[in-house]
A and B are shown apart, each in its own frame.
Chain A
Amino acid sequence: MIDALPPALTMMAGALALPFLRGPARSGAILLVPLLALAQLWALPDGPALTVGFLDHTLTPVKADALGRLFATVFLLMAAGGGLFALNQKAVVELSAAFAYAGGAVGVALAGDLITVFVFWELMAVASTLVLWAEGGELAARAARRYVMVHLLGGVVLMVGIIAHVSATGSAAFGAMRPDSLGTWLILAGFLINAGAPPFSAWLPDAYPEASWSGTVFLSAFTTKTAVYVLIRGFPGAEILVVVGLFMVFYGIVYALLENDMRRILAYSIVNQVGFMVTGIGIGTEMALNGAAAHAFTHIIYKALLLMSAGSVLFMTGKRKCTDLGGLFQSMPLTTICGTIGALAISSFPWTSGFVSKSMIGQAAADQSLAFVWFMLTAASAGVFLHAGIKFPWFVFFQKDSGLRPPDPPWNMRAAMVLFATLCIGIGVFPGALYALLPHATAYEPYTPAHVVDMLQLLGFSGLAFFVLLPLMKRTLTITLDADWLYRRLGPELVQVVGGGVVAFDRAIRKAAHLSLRRLLDLAARTHGRSGVFARTASSSLMTMLTLVVLAGLLATVYG
């Protein structure tokens, strides 16, 4: 069955081959394997390309359609660009794991049934853990341990859900579902855990910044976006996703504003951006789903670009805290430009890719007369600009002069950044190419004068607010950015109230969970540890006594 999983298999084969290659052969393989898989992907006809029998069910491990192809395409683009960026990564394991990870993501995107989804889902969990782990430090190892536990737990939830759903419906096919039975609820929960939804949002910013300078680039792309993909396919229009998505939007903003580690800022902003997509899926109209899919596509590219620029800084300086960085534009001009393009794209600046995709979600909310949702999304857009659009490039590349004068990174890292920056601008200027790939036909036109002016106003005012409040931000590093910096009066209060609520909810849940988990672990360690009651060597008489007790119990049962 394995020899017929074309694009995913190519990536896996590449992953297995990489450790045995050296020098130019290795570099060549890193660059060519994703492109080969991409060619295979586009040669796949629509519909099931393969069926196999596994555990009483007929599986369709490869089934292409517009939606799957869109996601698989961007995953493979990401693998190619990330591979180029990571050519000088010394840790052999990392790229192999990253290719297997990308293969898993492609496998999910092309899976025609839930069992295949689960198989690739688990593969991604293991491979991404290895990417994280390959960093080699103790912090990364610990983060990897926490990361894998969350994902395996998510796998447990997903597996129970899938088995229940499959045995209830008799079919393993992966199509649109409604969360109306325990099985489908569990599947939804399993998907959401990977998407970084509450109360499991913390795994993402906890783990991603601990990976190596190149590892984070890979990690940012696949796990959350496959979750977005399966949500689009599995639960379009599930209302609960609107609430979950909005929560994630604000969760990401609030924590990113508080953060000092440059890559953790960007990790929080992943939660925030995925929140936009999840909201779109919850709205569920064709426009909204198109928007979610398109936003996933563009987000992968600009977030990778941002993390590449952060990775370049880390690679050249070894520093990751905003407070240690600054003024790098003088010696790293290319990195600065590329990082800024990424920052503009994530802020949905007109003529960047973020603008043409995110505006679809907002438009869908407006079309459905979901005023509140539309309003929250618009307010959040200002917040995105603050934390990712300005805060990241400002503190890393500009602000005070840190005295660091590293040059731009090696050619391959520069090339990868230029490539992705070009994509960001290209999609922004020519959105038609992206729209043609979307699952539903669309005639959406992002560049209406009103929309462009609106967006520029929003960005202009929040940008102004950032600099007005800059001293405040540096000094206290808390959420006091609620002055009159939004041109709509309700905006600031919303961010304040919602943000405060998000933080309170998140902290309360995590505290309670941590506490009970710790108690449980302590108890388990006491009773099951090396000299715990369950681990002790028992004497013959004790064992015999125990046997008699069991016999007595059984006799009582059979006579009772």
Chain B
Amino acid sequence: MTLHDHLPALAVVVPLMAAPVIVALRRPTAAWAVAVAVSWACLAISGQLLQSVLANGPFSYLLGGWAAPWGIEYRVDPVDAFVLVIVSAIAAVVSLYAKTSVAKEIDPDRQYLFYAMYVLCLCGLLGMAITGDAFNVFVFLEISSLSTYVLVALGRDRRALTAAFRYLVLGTVGATFYVIGIGLAYMMTGTLNMADMAERLPAVAHTSTVRAALAFLVVGIGLKMAAFPLHLWLPNAYAHAPSVATAFLAGTATKVSVYVLLRIVLGVFGGTGLLTALPLMELLMAMALAGMFVGSAVAIWQPDLKRALAYSSVAQIGYILLGIAFLSETGLAAAIVHLFNHAIMKTALFLALGAIVFRLGSARIEDIAGIGRRMPLTMAAVLVAGLSLIGVPLTVGFVSKWYLVEAAIGAGLWPVAVAILLSSLLAVAYVWRIVEAAWFAKPSDKALAATEAPTALIVPTWAMAGAAVWFGVDATGTMGVARAAAAALLKGVAP
């Protein structure tokens, strides 16, 4: 076997091994350099994996050479590879941004901790995406979650500690529910390998154990992905975490949880027929719709923009969940492409907010008054990503919105199609508020003293904002992958 054959394992092993190296190095610059190298290496690996899965179809990697279902199987299909690329691409871009911002927001003697947790979190997220073993998902979930708690707790003020603690409690509840669910399924099937489990579940689908497993799994994963009304931990965690951590987590953590939902609920439980026999999808749809409206509406009035955008994430997760709940190919493709699209635009927005915090020390609406003329590049990125969040044509947001509405109409759900677009009008309101404050309000004292953010922050921000336009103009690539992934997922779902 060549090194190339071990790529699936390397995607996880490289960041995992880098964490102790960073701790050993301790020097901030060295720690940062390792984090950058690891993130970009993971991106290269993910890119390779996506390429080969698109060229040669799905393939498996047996960890330690142990055959599934006894050993742990890493399974790479279009969905996994797509998520791997999203996560590592965002990690790579954000890592470049990290040095300047972290140096400002975190004490020098604790910066190495930040970078160590950053690569550990990356390891956990990539691991969740690549593994084909249901219990292994839990292991990586815990790796990413524990490192996330630390990342949040490294935030600038003491409220970060409370936020991190609450996230820890809720995250643990979610993870526990997940394990309970997997345990119940294991009881009935005797296997932890996802493919194997999917094969054996239909035979025992009528048992209440399997049904309870499904309920626990949906709630557990729903908590991690911040689906309404299980989202309450998210706004404070995002608002008080260091800017870099927020940008990274907003683009990746909830997305990977959505991926797990797709994998477990559609992939593993799809064959049981429970998804269509029970009003489960209707329930998810209700949660999604409520999230779309409540999240966006709260964002309109939030004084802290980081918190406002965190609520906007709750709404965006609602869109993704809605796409899944249609249980159709277009709907799933819309959900999957929105994973990517939302990751790009939300990361761009949080990176831009990080640049504002870098200059102003705050991202409150009254402090950013008049900042548009002081930090034109940063605010232009906010505008571009904001337009994408609304779903203006030629941005990625439009592509998502288009397919989501098409899926709603395809399912014959007219009111839902209208609801999708009406809720996007709420996005207009909260984006408009930022634009108005930045360009048209009387400059605040903080804004008067500010200058444009350093290049090290501008370039990664614009890389993301630019991508939001690039993939909005030419959505062929992303939609192609999303469609292939949706078709593959839907194949396993019994009608």
The residues of A with any CB-CB pair to B shorter than 8 Å are 1-2, 53-56, 118-119, 122-123, 126, 133, 141, 145, 148-149, 152-153, 156, 159-160, 163-164, 167, 182, 524-525, 527-530, 532, 534-535, 537-540, 542-544, 546-547, 550-551, 553-555, 557-560
Contact = CB atoms under 8 A, between A and B. Distances in A.
Nearest to A155: B421
Nearest 9 A/B pairs, CB to CB: A156-B421, A528-B297, A558-B211, A119-B393, A554-B215, A538-B232, A540-B169, A529-B301, A535-B298
A532 B301 contact: yes
A156 B418 contact: yes
A148 B475 contact: no
Given A141-B440, A152-B428, A554-B218, 5 more contacts: A126-B392, A148-B432, A163-B402, A182-B414, A559-B211
A159 B301 contact: no
B302 A555 contact: no
Contacts of B418: 156, 160
Given A156-B425, A542-B232, A557 B280 contact: yes
A560 B280 CA distance: 11
B473 A160 contact: no
A160 B409 contact: yes
A525 B302 CA distance: 11
B280 A558 contact: yes
Nearest to B290: A534
A111 to B, nearest CB: 12
Interface in B412-470: 414, 417-418, 421-422, 424-425, 428, 432, 436, 440
Contact of B394 (A56, A119, A534, A539): A119
Contact of A558 (B169, B274, B301): B274
Nearest to B159: A537
Nearest to B219: A551
Contact of A2 (B177, B229, B280, B473): B473
Contacts of B425: 149, 152-153, 156
Nearest to B308: A535
A242 B66 CA distance: 76
Contact of A149 (B211, B410, B421, B428): B428
Contacts, number: 137
Chain A contact residues: over half helix, strand or loop, or mixed? helix
21 contacts: A55-B399, A55-B475, A149-B428, A152-B428, A160-B409, A160-B417, A164-B409, A525-B301, A529-B301, A534-B297, A535-B301, A535-B302, A540-B170, A543-B166, A543-B230, A546-B230, A551-B219, A554-B219, A555-B212, A558-B211, A558-B280
Contact of A550 (B212, B222, B405): B222
B236 interface: yes
B216 A163 contact: no
B223 interface: yes
Given A126-B392, A164-B409, A551 B298 contact: no
Contacts of B300: 528
A550 B174 CA distance: 12
A551 B177 contact: yes
Given A149-B428, A160-B405, A551-B177, A530 B301 contact: yes
A160 B391 CA distance: 13
Q: Which of A119, A534, A555 is packed against the most chain B CB atoms within 10 Å? A: A534
A54 B478 CA distance: 12
Given A528-B294, A553-B283, A558-B278, A547 B215 contact: no
B278 A123 contact: no
Contacts of A126: 387, 392
Interface string B181-214: 0000000000000000000000000001001101
